[in-house]
Structure 1
Amino acid sequence: MTQQQTRIADLSALELLRLFRGGELSPVEAARACLARIERHNPAVNAYCLIDPDTTLAAARDAEQRYRRGEPLGLVDGVPTAIKDVFYTRGWRNLKGSRTVDSEQPWDTDAPAVAALRRHGFVPLGKTTTPEFGWKGVTDSPLCGPTNNPWDPSKTAGGSSGGSGAAVMLGMGPLSLGTDAGGSIRIPAGFCGCVGHKPTHGRVPMWPPSPFAPLAHPGPMTRTVEDAALLMNVISEPDPRDSTLPDNRTDFLAVLGEGVRGLRIAYSPDFGYVRVDREIHDSVAAAAALFQELGAVVEHVDPGFTDPLESFGRLFYGGAANALRDLDEAKRALMDPGLISVAKEASRLSMLDYLAAMNERAALIERMSLFHTEYDLLLSPSLPIPAFDANREVPAGWPHERWPTWTPFTYPFNMTGQPACSVPCGFTRDGLPIGLQLVGARHRDDLVLRAAHAYQQANPLHHRRPPLLQE
């Protein structure tokens, strides 16, 4: 990469847009810089499973012409953007990390989020890696192999949007789409040190329906909260294929500067039942103290629910079993053995088991709705542990077999459908990122992003770059 390309690849989406509008930079130059960064560093992390420079550069040239005419198409015209390989994207295969998907079928449809991006002139960079069907909290699959952490490639990037998290942290695109059904945006955001926002359920249209509905949420992954708000403005536009038809009247960028003074914030370092790594505990405690310095009223209080792990597992793995129900044994033999195992176990659940889990979900929604009549936000760690060795579902020596046992801060809010954002708040002694999670009441994505932005402005860790970029 040239020095100029390095500088361009490190710019945020909003910085790129300012330069495009001022005629100081071309979308083609931005696309070439991101493609050069991908060529240089993707082999070390495996963030992308599909790269198509011809399509990328053609879209960038179209955007360049629009800017020359003074007719930009939309909010992200010319901005290079990565797409997780679970979103239908016209012209590109959507394999979902699986060898069971027919790659030769017509690929002529955009998912709602991609369609919105296309209406706003984005430049598609490629598809990012995911575990098979997005089923776990790390990113590896029989089709694509493991995705590694940009801060230490021997560690996991997290998942299931691990490719998107690694990509944005290495400047392989300032914007990326992820999905989150149990933490799949916030886990890689925490492990990779980027911003990941899980919107209120239904705020961002999703089609086709996820196998993990009603737990699944599409959302943005970026280096800055400002870029996440920008991407939310685009992808939260309604789409008739999603029956939730979200209300998108909020301009998420416009509210970012309102700060946190006077907000009532509950700080819970462990929810009352989670064992948290000491470095993570201390970093999140410092973040809570900073919110108080910024004028918020911060209280040390737990949300008051017991761990909903069993009910989450019934809902999540029940979705996995349903996704695999029509696959024959030959196709199952091609798949991730862990996915086959959880789907087989979930297939034994009764309808009453599933309904009992839905009842607990309803009780949890009620509990958190009442909690947020007293507190505007809930602060917690994004994860209780730092990133561990790649190509593993759980850390070495972990007492449990399955991934949700080390993600206790994320999946409760997939059950409630609340907005939750992970923003970097520190680093371990080994140089691995630590994430802070901010949770708000349903439909208060604006408040969550506003608080995350205030924190990031006061503790701007997004300027710190992985050592891999120095090699």
Structure 2
Amino acid sequence: MNNYLNASGPSPVASELNRLDVKSLTAAYRNGQLSPVEITQATLDRAAEIQAALNPFSFLDPENALEAARAAERRWAKGEPLSPIDGIPTTLKDIVHVERWAVRYGSLTTDPAPLRQDAPSVARLRKAGAIFIGQTTTPEFGWKAVTDSPAFGVTRNPWDPARSPGGSSGGAAVAAACGAGVLHLGTDGGGSIRIPASFTGIVGHKPSYGRVAAHPLSSFGTVAHIGPMTRTVGDAAAMLDIMSGRDLRDWTQAPVSHRSLNVSRLDWRGKRIAYWKEPCVGKVDFSVGAAIEGVLKDLEDAGASIAEIRLPDQDTLLEVFYRHWYVGAANRLSSIDPARWSALDPGLLHAASVGQGYSGVERMAAEICRARFGAAMDGLLAEFDFVVSPTVPILPFEAGHQVPPGSGLQSWVEWSSFSFPINLSQQPASTVPCGLAGDGLPIGMQIIGARGADEDVLRAALSYEEMYPHRFLNSNRAWPCRSERAYLCSGETTRED
């Protein structure tokens, strides 16, 4: 079972077992070529292999994972799997509730006692037979778009470990990019699925708000979404299909049912694409812009029409988001004993202090602006089939910083302004890898659709994947291993307790 490991030390390349997607694994389980136990062990080995250098995990649970894998193995042997993801290794971000695990939110201030109940998304995955191997790292309470925390230190990017994988679902992105799991649950309040997916060259999907139930509700309110992070579009669709559905504990969900996703190839002929070219703040890196425009040219050649746009009320959105996000930070701070505030991330404390300074009138005014923007976005997506943009306007930067050093930017929100507006308006958005910059760093492209049109967005992403299969990590091209090889073999570690 362990013959894929490099006996002389950590392997810089994920094995073929770690590259397999849901469809390949379930076919192999069905015909007896592979077992969930074998795949779970390979996943646990890969997770342990990359942990010291890249720090994507806050907790691994080999004993319970292997016990669950043995149960899945018995079901497959009987021809009675629970679902299409039965026996598939899965990670959960350290921000969602998991029965028998503690949730630490990347914080030294949280209760280490095991929880008694799964979050709705976790419960659905468990019922479907997903194998939970561990929790992935997050910044404290998921408050920023890079991944470092007082509790678990700095998480690093496998394409260049001196750089950040983004955040807040950075651990999940690194685990996915390195083959330490097939399905990865992330959360996204301002880009926290899409940003690290872009920075690590994987697929991330922020669903329409309410498609995946949330309980307990995020301290940041209804800008926060739960969604899949994977190496292929098909895997993201399979995971989202399982997680979707109503849960009466989440009052913010609309009382509607969601039919099962049917993610098939999309015909680009006649499709109307709005090109969102300029972010709300700053400029787009030349290599990022060139990559996106190259894809748009190909989509145009495939029959789509392209029109350049700006978002409705684009110049006001930064302040609208600040009033939501920083008040959310203040809300989270209010639940923590002031005697423990000294243990918190200083950046979180600053964000909370800004949030405490907003008046109730200012916060409600932001809600009204948000509603106007959301309605305008609904109108825009009635006119166009999709909005396409860079996922992030910049390339991954030095780890341990909230903004690129020397950039003059004041907060992560400023360089995340292709992502946070779509949290305000709640449309579904996928990010897919669209090439590498000259220095070998990944670039992501964002595909946005109308509210409720997750299937259409994933169909567009799948069609793109079929156009550019070599850009996806389950292809035969090299994984993020050039820099990972140097770093893993150096013997260095990144944990900063």
TM-score, normalised to structure 2, is 0.92
* Structure 2 counterpart of 1:2: 3
Matches within 5 A, 1:36-435: 36-104=45-113, 106-243=114-251, 244=253, 247-252=256-261, 254-271=262-279, 274-307=282-315, 308-435=317-444
Partners in 2 of 1:293 and 1:22 — Cα distance?
41
1:427 is displaced (CA, Å) by: 0.5
What is the RMSD computed on CA atoms of the aligned residues?
1.5
Tell me, yes or no, if the aligned pair for 1:190 and 1:382 is still in contact at 8 Å.
yes
Structure 1 CA distance, aligned partners of 2:272 and 2:35?
Answer: 44
Q: Deviations over 1:397-428 (max 9, x none)?
A: 12122110111100000000111111100111
Q: Deviations over 1:184-223 (max 9, x none)?
A: 0001011011111000011110110001111000000001
Change in 2 beyond 3 A, CA 1:69/1:112: same
Cα deviations by residue, 1:340-399 (Å, 9 ceiling, x for unpaired) = 111012111110010111111011111111111210100000001000000110110121
Residue 270 of structure 1 and its aligned partner are, at CA, apart by 1.4
| Matched residue SS, 2:210 | coil
Matching residue of 1:459: 468
1:54-95, CA deviations, whole angstroms, 9 ceiling, x for partnerless residues? 011001000000111111112310000000001111111100
Unaligned stretches of 5+ residues in structure 2: 6-13, 490-497
Match of 1:449 in 2: 458
How many residue pairs get matched?
469
SS of the equivalent of 1:86 reads coil
Change (3 A) 1:100 1:233: same
Q: How far is 1:245 from its partner?
A: 5.0
Is 428-437 or 1-10 further displaced after alignment?
1-10
Q: Partner letter of residue 295 of structure 1?
A: G
SS at match of 2:167: coil
**Distance change >3 Å, CA 64–CA 272, structure 1 → 2:** closer
Q: CA deviation at 1:97?
A: 0.3
Where 2:185 maps in the other structure, the secondary structure is strand
Per-residue deviation at 1:271? 4.8
Stretch moving more, 310-319 or 8-17: 8-17
Q: CA deviation at 1:445?
A: 0.7
Contact 1:250-1:446 at 8 Å conserved across structures: no
Greater shift, 45-54 or 320-329, is seen at 320-329
State the shift of 1:246 in Å: 6.0
**Displacement of 1:274:** 4.2
Verify the 8 A CA contact 1:64 1:78 in the aligned structure 2: yes
Q: Following TM superposition, by how much is the alpha carbon of 1:248 offset from its aligned partner in structure 2, in angstroms?
A: 4.6
| Cα distance in structure 1, aligned partners of 2:265 and 2:283 | 35
**What CA deviation, in whole Å up to 9, does each residue of 1:20-65 have, x standing for no partner?**
1222110001101111111111211111100011011001000000
Question: Matched residues in 1 for 2:70 and 2:311: separation?
Answer: 50
Rounded Cα–Cα distance in structure 1 between residues aligned with 2:21 and 2:335: 43
CA distance in 2, matches of 1:139, 1:456: 27
Hey, what's the Cα distance between the residues in 2 that align with 1:319 and 1:272?
Answer: 21
1:421 and 1:248 mapped to 2: Cα distance?
A: 22
CA contact (8 A) 1:320 1:343 kept: yes
The letter of the residue matching 2:57 is: Y
Letter of the 1:214 counterpart: T
What SS class does the counterpart of residue 21 from structure 1 fall into? helix
Compute the displacement of 1:330 (Å): 2.1
* C-alpha spacing 1:251/1:189, structure 2 compared with 1 (3 Å): same
1:261 Cα deviation after fit: 2.7
Give the secondary structure class of the aligned counterpart of 1:153.
Answer: coil
Q: 3-state SS of the aligned residue for 1:54?
A: helix
Q: Equivalents in 2 of 1:249, 1:406: separation in Å? A: 33
Q: Which residue of 1 aligns with 2:22?
A: 13
Whether contact under 8 Å (2:312, 2:373) holds in the other structure is no
Instruction: Give, in whole Å, the separation in 1 of the partners of 2:445 and 2:132.
Output: 29
1:161-203, CA deviations, whole angstroms, 9 ceiling, x for partnerless residues? 0000000000000110000000000010110111110000111
- Please report the TM-score for the alignment, with normalisation by the length of structure 1: 0.97
Task: Specify the SS of the correspondent of 1:372.
Answer: helix
Tell me, in whole angstroms, the C-alpha distance in 2 between the residues paired with 1:23 and 1:151: 35
Partner residue of 2:9? Answer: none
Is the Cα contact below 8 Å between 1:83 and 1:126 reproduced in 2? yes
Aligned partner of residue 37 in structure 1, secondary structure? helix
2 CA distance for matches of 1:452 and 1:90? 33
- In structure 2, do the counterparts of structure 1 residues 44 and 273 end up closer, same or farther at CA, with 3 Å as the change threshold? closer
CA distance in 1: counterparts of 2:303 and 2:181, whole angstroms:
34
Tell me the secondary structure at the aligned position of residue 439 of structure 2.
Answer: coil
Moved more, 242-251 or 455-464: 242-251
- The amino acid that maps onto 1:429 is G
